[in-house]
Structure 1
Amino acid sequence: MKFVVPYLRVVAGMFAAITLWLAIVEIVNGNFADAILFVAFAAGLGYLAIGKPLRDHRRRIKAEQDAIAARAEVGHRAFLAGDVRAAMAPPPEPPKPPRIRRGVVIAAAVAGLIVLMGIIGDISDGLDSPTKDDASTTPRAAAPTTTTPYTTSAATTARTVAPETTPATRISTTQVAAVASTAVMPNVVCMDLQAAQDTIQAAGVFYSTSVDATGQGRAQVWDRNWVVVDQTPSVGASIGEGDPVLSVLKEDEFSGC
């Protein structure tokens, strides 16, 4: 049984790390009650994994300190008795820590690799809530986006501000510059989210937002794993910072693209 116990501790530590990661995912998704539950499970599993090694470590330190204190007391009494040689004797050797088997180290490394791969997979999938998997396994079909060609001419795109004779209605130079700097919304439907954001930035607007088209509120952690299925405002509309809103689905979900 003593041979198996270290490996059981490794397994408990692996599940403690997985449960703690699930708690982090729940916090990202705003499910704080579920996150607290996962943290409690992680604490229990963590205690099973490292509780006894920590207690053994504290016992070794206490035994070493007690041995040094006893040796100091013996040396003090020997010095008072005139036995200088006994008083100057070296302190006792500290107890040696138990050897860690190579198999346990390998098992711990494999467990850590499994946890790391799971975290990377969750990040690439958008940090879905593990307690909300049954909410909607089949995403709602996105409403088809119909786009009409948007043609502009130099006369219609350029906004001319006629000077007014009344000072109260006169447009300032700053307002004219703001109107002139307004960007035009490009067509980004069926692009991956990263490419869509780059296209909007190239049009002159740096900040845009994205939302989960299924309504589950999933976080878009890895932009290239999401596809734009709808956009607001429509193609050709004037946009400013924060105006573009992109509805997205995962690349492996049906998007109609």
Structure 2
Amino acid sequence: MKPVVPYLRVLAGLFAGVTLWLAIVEIIHGNVAESLIQLLFFVGLGYLAIGKPLRDRHARVEADRAALAARAEAGHQAFLAGDRSAAFAPPPEPSPPPKMRRGVLIAALVAAAFVLIGIIGDISDGLDAPSGNDATTTPQTSARVTPGSTTPAPSATSAAATVPVVTSAPAAVSTTTANAAAAGTSAVMPDVECMDLQTAQDTIQAAGVFYSRSVDATGEGRMQVQDRNWIVVGQQPSAGAVVGEGEALLSVVKEVEFAGCR
């Protein structure tokens, strides 16, 4: 059983890294209670992973200090007795740290790579909302996204993404126009549908408004971490309306979910 223990600590460290990342995701989505639960799991798994090595290192340091103190006391007594050679003898060598087995080191590197790849994949995927929030998301329909349409376009292939149709809200245009007119900075809203989110933001900034907002068109609350991986399928207000800072709202889906514009 003893040779397996280091690998079990590596496994505990792997799950500790996963639960820490899940806690960070919960905090990003505002789920404080769930994040605290994940942090408790992280602390427990982290202790199982590195608790014993830390205790062993502390015991080794304390033993070295005790040996050094004993050697100093013995030298002092030898000096008082007139034995100068014993009094000025070199201190004892510190105890060497235990060597990590090659297999354990490889397992630790593989576990770290697994956690890192999972984090990178989650970030590139838009930090999907945790499963506990699924009940609050809007239902999806089996249709491709067709901007400016009130009926879903027929699917061309079986790989079409299932996302709801996004339509602009004409009623919000007049309110947005009035708010923008009262604001200090305003511009004419350009047509940015079918652009990737980064290009759409740059276009709105070129029109004279720096700050725009984006939202997941599927209602799942996914975050747009890499703007160029998202496509604008709806905008509020519509093109030609006056818009102020923070009033441009872009509905987006992932690039792989986008079926193209008519």
Alignment match, 2:115: 115
Considering only CA atoms, is the larger Rg found in Structure 1 or Structure 2?
1
- Matched letter for residue 4 of structure 1: V
Q: Is the 8 A contact 1:141 1:254 kept in 2?
A: no
Pairing partner for 1:216 from 199, 217, 220: 220
Pairing partner for 2:200 from 193, 196, 201: 196
Alignment match, 2:40: 40
Percent sequence identity over aligned pairs: 65
Q: Distance in 1 between matches of 2:109 and 2:224?
A: 30
Distance apart, 1:137 and its partner CA: 9.0
Do the aligned partners of residues 50 and 137 (structure 1) sit closer, same or farther apart at CA in structure 2, a change above 3 Å counting? farther
Q: Distance in 2 between matches of 1:86 and 1:134?
A: 75
- Matched letter for residue 56 of structure 1: D
TM-score, with length taken from structure 1 = 0.80
Q: Is the 8 A contact 1:212 1:219 kept in 2?
A: yes
Q: Which runs of 5+ in 1 are unaligned?
A: 148-174
Q: Which runs of 5+ in 2 are unaligned?
A: 141-162, 171-180
Distance apart, 1:109 and its partner CA: 1.4
Q: Is the 8 A contact 2:231 2:258 kept in 1?
A: no
Q: Distance in 2 between matches of 1:225 and 1:56?
A: 48
- Matched letter for residue 38 of structure 1: Q
Answer yes or no: is 1:142 the counterpart of 2:165: yes
Q: Give secondary structure in 2 for the equivalent of 1:14.
A: helix
Distance apart, 1:76 and its partner CA: 1.1
Which structure 2 residues correspond to residues 1-257 of structure 1 after superposition, within 5 A? 1-132=1-132, 134-135=134-135, 136=137, 139=140, 141-145=164-168, 182-253=186-257, 257=261
Distance apart, 1:47 and its partner CA: 0.4
Distance apart, 1:124 and its partner CA: 0.9
Distance apart, 1:196 and its partner CA: 1.3
TM-score, with length taken from structure 2 = 0.78
CA offsets 1:48-79 (integer angstroms, 9 cap, x no match) = 10000000000000000000111111111111
Q: Is the 8 A contact 2:129 2:220 kept in 1?
A: no
CA offsets 1:65-95 (integer angstroms, 9 cap, x no match) = 0001111111111111112222122222211
Q: Give secondary structure in 2 for the equivalent of 1:252.
A: helix
Q: Is the 8 A contact 1:249 1:255 kept in 2?
A: no
Q: Give secondary structure in 2 for the equivalent of 1:183.
A: strand
**What is the number of residues matched between the two proteins?**
226
Q: Is the 8 A contact 1:186 1:203 kept in 2?
A: yes
